[in-house]
């Protein structure tokens, strides 16, 4: 592996931005210096001039659905990891609601085998839960598996856990991070019944946040937080979608000491219920995109550290699937290629804070070993970003297998120009190097 010197960059790391150089040797950050003498670099070092560009740690996306195995007609680990690295995501954690669902250790390891052969980014996979697979879940190794996923609300994959005894048993697990999808199923069903009575089988997409309401989200999140407090569970509440829910989370403790953390997704910070009129089912996610008040409240909570991380819930479906009638249309959409662009357009949040929420905090929350920061001795998962490079999202530059994005037509003003994964330059100005694959993420637990 050749050494690489990235020089003349604006380095963004741990709340500071400074001008400097980074030497990469054997896949890791060897040296960080304000100015490095090129003559001291190892023989055959590759030099990359980063003048005017910002060097960030690679993004760690802790919530994606890359659809493999079983749903590869709409996405797979190769295509979506390729889109990810083009967007600056160097590590991802994939959810278990594939076909078959990941409910055994054997099925979990099969996904790792696929990723070792196909993924261009680093990877980890959640162990799935059901009402009956507790004995399999407790076999999960916290040192090489990111966590356990519990669906407290139904969504793609039908992995709803609704047996109170099963839920409590999972929350008693002390050495595993529990990630929860929080929506109360009984409230959803009652709301859906009323909407069907009013509109029939094809209500307008604007009904989605009425069916999957603030009440259904808050009721479920509150229940999960109370269980976590009761049992001392390491809980991570994913895709928080309402301002009301943010009141459940603490911002008085340092992140390292929190037992209960939470996540927000870019689409809940970018869109609101006003956008259903133009975007329709293309922005139908679970939980639903809600009001302008919720959008503003989520961003405020992110800035106040009530919400700890940003992750995409990247969940692609085909364009034809998304054009079906409301009750037949699956929820979810692609986002992993464009999440950093969305965050950089939100002028209320600084680039330092974006790095905190998309790189540092995921590494801290999940106890990831030697990733998520620009530190000597850490893996060289790095991205270069040009903050003055306008471009428009068009079908010709969308890399998702589904070949569409709810952001089509948007003009962003920043662009990822280079992505390094484990010290390998895997993406450079639209060109990919695919010979070297990503690594399985390991955890200090």
CATH of the domain at 68: 3.20.20.140
CA distance 263 to 25: 34
pLDDT band at 155 (very low <50, low <70, confident <90, very high): low
- Whether 342 is covered by a domain: the verdict is yes
Q: Are 178 and 43 in the same domain?
A: no
Task: Count structural domains, the chain.
Answer: 2
pLDDT band at 38 (very low <50, low <70, confident <90, very high): confident
Mean pLDDT for the stretch of residues 437-443 = 98
- Whether 442 is covered by a domain: the verdict is no
pLDDT of residue 159: 79
45 phi and psi angles, rounded to 5 deg: -65, 135
Q: What are the pLDDT digits (tens) for 366-404? A: 999 999 999 999 999 999 999 999 999 999 999 999 999
pLDDT of residue 153: 67
Q: Are 73 and 39 in the same domain?
A: no
What residues form DSSP beta bridges with 127? Answer: 148
CATH of the domain at 425: 2.30.40.10
- Whether 405 is covered by a domain: the verdict is no
Q: Are 351 and 383 in the same domain?
A: no
Neighbours of 350 (CB within 10 A): 14
Residue 107: cis peptide before it, omega within 30 degrees of 0: no
Contact 346, 414 (CB under 8 A): no
Contact 403, 410 (CB under 8 A): no
Dihedral in degrees, nearest 10, Cα atoms 383, 387, 392, 396: -30
Q: Are 243 and 277 in the same domain?
A: yes
- How far is C-alpha 71 from the chain's CA centre? 19
pLDDT of residue 152: 86
> 39-54 in b/e burial notation, b at 16+ Cβ within 10 A?
eebeeeeeebebeebb
Share of the chain above pLDDT 90, in %: 95
CA distance 262 to 292: 20
pLDDT averaged over every residue in the chain: 96
Q: Are 69 and 45 in the same domain?
A: no
Q: Are 25 and 65 in the same domain?
A: no
Q: Are 71 and 38 in the same domain?
A: no
Three-class HEC string of 312-377: CCECCCCHHHHCCCHHHCCCCCCCCCCHHHHHHHCCCCCHHHHHHHHHHHHHHHCCECCCCCCCCC
- Is 3 a residue whose pLDDT tops 90? yes
- Whether 276 is covered by a domain: the verdict is yes
pLDDT band at 158 (very low <50, low <70, confident <90, very high): low
Q: Are 125 and 177 in the same domain?
A: yes
pLDDT band at 154 (very low <50, low <70, confident <90, very high): low
pLDDT band at 56 (very low <50, low <70, confident <90, very high): very high
Q: Are 36 and 91 in the same domain?
A: no
- Is 444 a residue whose pLDDT tops 90? yes
- Whether 408 is covered by a domain: the verdict is no
Structure tokens at 96: 């278990």
CA distance 56 to 11: 6
Q: Which of residues 37 and 262 earns the better pLDDT score? A: 262
Neighbours of 38 (CB within 10 A): 11
Share of the chain above pLDDT 70, in %: 99
Q: What are the pLDDT digits (tens) for 114-152? A: 999 999 999 999 999 999 999 999 999 999 999 999 998
Q: Are 242 and 135 in the same domain?
A: yes
- Whether 110 is covered by a domain: the verdict is yes
- Whether 112 is covered by a domain: the verdict is yes
Q: What are the pLDDT digits (tens) for 400-413? A: 999 999 999 999 99
List, as one string, the DSSP characters of 165-221.
HHHHHHHT-SSSEEEEE---HHHHHHHHHHHHHHHTT---GGGHHHHS-HHHHHHHH
Query: With a threshold of 0.85, does the pTM exceed it?
Result: yes
CA distance 92 to 312: 10
Handedness of CA 148, 153, 159, 164 (dihedral sign): positive
Domain of 108 in residue numbering reads as 59-365
Q: Are 10 and 149 in the same domain?
A: no
| Best CA proximity match to 71, nearest among 51, 44, 93, 99 | 99
Q: Are 89 and 25 in the same domain?
A: no
pLDDT of residue 24: 98
Helix (H/G/I), strand (E/B), else coil: 78: helix
pLDDT of residue 39: 85
Task: Give the C-alpha distances (Å, rounded to integers) separating 229 from 125, 168, 172, 249.
Answer: 25, 12, 11, 12
The answer for residues whose C-beta is within 8 angstroms of residue 152's C-beta and 6 or more apart is: 160, 161, 162, 167, 180, 181, 182, 183, 184, 185, 220, 223, 224
pLDDT of residue 175: 86
pLDDT of residue 415: 98
- Whether 440 is covered by a domain: the verdict is no
């Amino acid at each position: 592996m050749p050494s690489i010197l990235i020089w003349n960059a604006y380095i963004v790391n741990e709340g500071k931005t400074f001008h400097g150089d980074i030497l990469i040797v054997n896949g890791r950050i060897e040296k960080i210096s304000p100015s490095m003498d090129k003559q001291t670099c190892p023989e055959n070092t590759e030099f990359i001039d980063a003048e005017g560009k910002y060097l960030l740690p690679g993004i760690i996306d802790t919530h994606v659905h890359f659809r493999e195995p079983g749903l590869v007609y709409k996405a797979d680990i190769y295509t979506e990891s390729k889109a990810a690295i083009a967007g600056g995501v160097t590590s991802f954690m994939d959810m278990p609601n594939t076909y078959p669902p990941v409910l055994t250790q054997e099925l979990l390891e099969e996904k790792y085998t696929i990723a070792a052969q196909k993924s261009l980014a680093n990877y980890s996979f959640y162990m799935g839960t059901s009402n009956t697979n507790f004995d399999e879940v407790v076999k999960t190794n916290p040192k090489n598996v990111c966590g356990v996923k519990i669906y407290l609300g139904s969504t793609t994959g039908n992995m709803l856990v609704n047996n109170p005894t099963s839920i409590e048993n999972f929350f008693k697990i002390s050495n595993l991070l529990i990630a929860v999808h929080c929506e109360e199923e009984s409230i959803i069903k009652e709301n859906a019944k009323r909407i069907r009575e009013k509109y029939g089988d094809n209500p307008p997409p604007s009904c989605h946040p009425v069916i999957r309401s603030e009440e259904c989200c808050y009721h479920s999140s509150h229940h999960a937080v109370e269980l976590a407090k009761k049992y001392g569970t390491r809980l991570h509440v994913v895709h928080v979608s309402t301002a009301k829910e943010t009141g459940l989370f603490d911002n008085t403790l340092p992140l390292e000491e929190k037992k209960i953390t939470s996540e927000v997704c870019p689409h809940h910070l970018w869109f609101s219920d006003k956008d259903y009129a133009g975007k329709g089912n293309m922005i139908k996610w679970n939980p639903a995109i809600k009001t302008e008040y919720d959008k503003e409240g989520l961003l405020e909570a992110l800035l106040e550290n009530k919400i700890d991380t940003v992750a995409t819930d990247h969940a692609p479906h085909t364009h034809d699937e998304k054009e079906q009638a409301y009750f037949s249309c699956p929820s979810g959409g692609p986002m992993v290629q464009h999440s950093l662009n969305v965050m950089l357009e939100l002028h209320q949040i600084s680039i330092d804070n974006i790095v905190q929420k998309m790189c540092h905090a995921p590494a801290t929350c999940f106890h990831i070993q030697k990733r998520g920061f620009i530190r000597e001795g850490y893996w060289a998962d790095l991205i270069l970003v040009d903050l003055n490079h306008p471009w428009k999202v068009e079908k010709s530059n969308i890399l998702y297998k589904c070949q569409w994005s709810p952001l089509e037509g948007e003009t962003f003003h920043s662009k990822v120009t280079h992505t390094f994964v484990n010290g390998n330059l895997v993406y450079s100005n639209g060109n990919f190097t695919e010979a070297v694959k990503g690594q399985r993420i390991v955890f200090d637990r």
